C-alpha cells in the first residue's frame, strides 16, 4: 500500500536517449515534487506542481519536462540524456493546506547514463 | 542567503553509543524544521518536526532540540543500533510558503 510510488526504480540508458520516470501518490495530496539527489547525497528541488499547476521551476535544463495529468500523478520526461543527468530522482508529495506540510518521498529512481 | 548547514558531514560510532547531529540554519521567516532519515537506497522519511515554539521533541531513541534564537537544531540518538546507519537530513520550511530548504546531510555509520 505504497503512498508515493515511482517507476522504474532503476534505469540504465545511453547518452542522447529520451526517458521518462513516472510518479503516483495515493495520499490525496495537492502538491507534488521532483528532486534530484547527486553523488554527494544532496537533494535539490527541480519542479513542483500544485493541483496540476507548475509552481516551482528551478534552473533545470529544458531537456527536462514535467507533466502532471492530475494531482495524483507527476511524470518527468528527459530528452537527449547526458552523463551529468546520472543521479537518483525522487518524487515527493505534500498537502499545502496542512499545518506541518510534511514531505512524503518515493523510493527513488536511479538513472545511469552511459 | 537562506541556507541549512549540517555537521558533522559523516560520523562513525559503535553500537550502543550515543551521538548528536547538528543543524544550523539562516532561513527566515521560519516555519518549522524537520529531521529526515534516509536509509541507503530508500527515500527520506520524517523522524520529527519542530515548530517555532518547541524546544524538545522525542521519537523513541531520537530526540530533537530547537533553539530558534540561535537558529540551531540538534538530533540526539540514544543507544545507537545498527539500523540507525543512514543519512540524516535537516529540512527547514519558510513561513507562509511550502518552500523547503534542505541541509547537506550527515552520514551516520553504526558499527557492531
Beta-carbon count within 10 A of B98 CB: 20
**pLDDT computed for residue A59 by the predictor:** 77
Positive/negative CA dihedral, A113, A10, B4, B29: positive
pLDDT band at A56 (very low <50, low <70, confident <90, very high): confident
**pLDDT computed for residue A99 by the predictor:** 66
Per the CB < 8 A criterion, the answer to whether A55 and A48 are in contact is yes
Q: Over the stretch B55-85, which tens digit does the pLDDT of each residue have?
A: 999 999 999 999 999 999 999 999 999 999 9
Q: Enumerate the β-bridge partners of residue A31.
A: A50, A94
pLDDT band at A73 (very low <50, low <70, confident <90, very high): very high
Q: Do B107 and A41 touch (CB under 8 A)?
A: yes
Identify which of A17-31, A85-99, B23-37 has the greatest average pLDDT.
A17-31
- Which residue in chain A has the smallest CA separation from B102? A43
Shortest Cα–Cα distance, B18 to chain A (Å): 24
pLDDT band at A13 (very low <50, low <70, confident <90, very high): very high
- Name the percent of chain A lying above pLDDT 70: 96
Name the residue facing B105 among A41, A101, A102 (closest C-beta): A41
Give the DSSP per-residue string, chain A: --SEEEE-SEEEE-TT--EEEEEEE-S--SEEEEEEE-TT--EEEEEEEETTEEEEE-S--TTEEEEEEETTEEEEEE-S--GGG-EEEEEEEE-TTSSS---EE---EEEEE-
Residues of B in contact with A45 (CB under 8 A): 100
Q: Do A103 and B46 touch (CB under 8 A)?
A: yes
Amino acid at each position: 500500500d505504497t503512498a508515493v510510488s515511482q517507476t522504474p526504480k532503476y534505469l540504465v540508458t545511453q547518452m542522447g536517449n529520451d526517458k521518462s520516470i513516472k510518479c503516483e501518490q495515493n495520499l490525496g495530496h495537492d502538491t507534488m515534487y521532483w528532486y534530484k539527489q547527486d553523488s554527494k547525497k544532496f537533494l535539490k528541488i527541480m519542479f513542483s506542481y500544485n493541483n496540476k499547476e507548475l509552481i516551482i521551476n528551478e534552473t533545470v535544463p529544458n531537456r527536462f519536462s514535467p507533466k502532471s495529468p492530475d494531482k495524483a500523478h507527476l511524470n518527468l520526461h528527459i530528452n537527449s540524456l547526458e552523463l551529468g543527468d546520472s543521479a537518483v530522482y525522487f518524487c515527493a508529495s505534500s498537502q499545502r493546506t496542512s499545518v506541518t506540510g510534511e514531505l512524503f518521498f518515493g523510493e527513488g529512481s536511479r538513472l545511469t547514463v552511459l | 542567503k537562506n541556507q541549512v548547514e549540517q555537521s558533522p558531514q559523516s560520523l562513525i560510532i559503535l553500537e550502543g553509543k550515543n551521538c548528536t547531529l547538528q543543524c544550523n540554519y539562516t532561513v527566515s521567516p521560519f516555519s518549522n524544521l524537520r529531521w529526515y532519515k534516509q536509509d541507503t537506497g530508500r527515500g527520506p522519511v520524517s523522524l520529527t518536526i519542530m515548530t517555532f515554539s518547541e524546544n524538545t521533541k522525542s521519537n523513541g531513541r531520537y530526540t530533537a532540540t530547537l533553539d530558534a534564537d540561535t537558529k540551531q537544531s540538534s538530533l540526539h540518538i540514544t543507544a545507537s543500533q545498527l539500523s540507525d546507519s543512514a543519512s540524516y537530513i535537516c529540512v527547514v520550511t519558510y513561513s507562509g510558503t511550502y518552500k523547503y530548504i534542505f541541509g547537506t546531510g550527515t552520514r551516520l555509520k553504526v558499527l557492531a
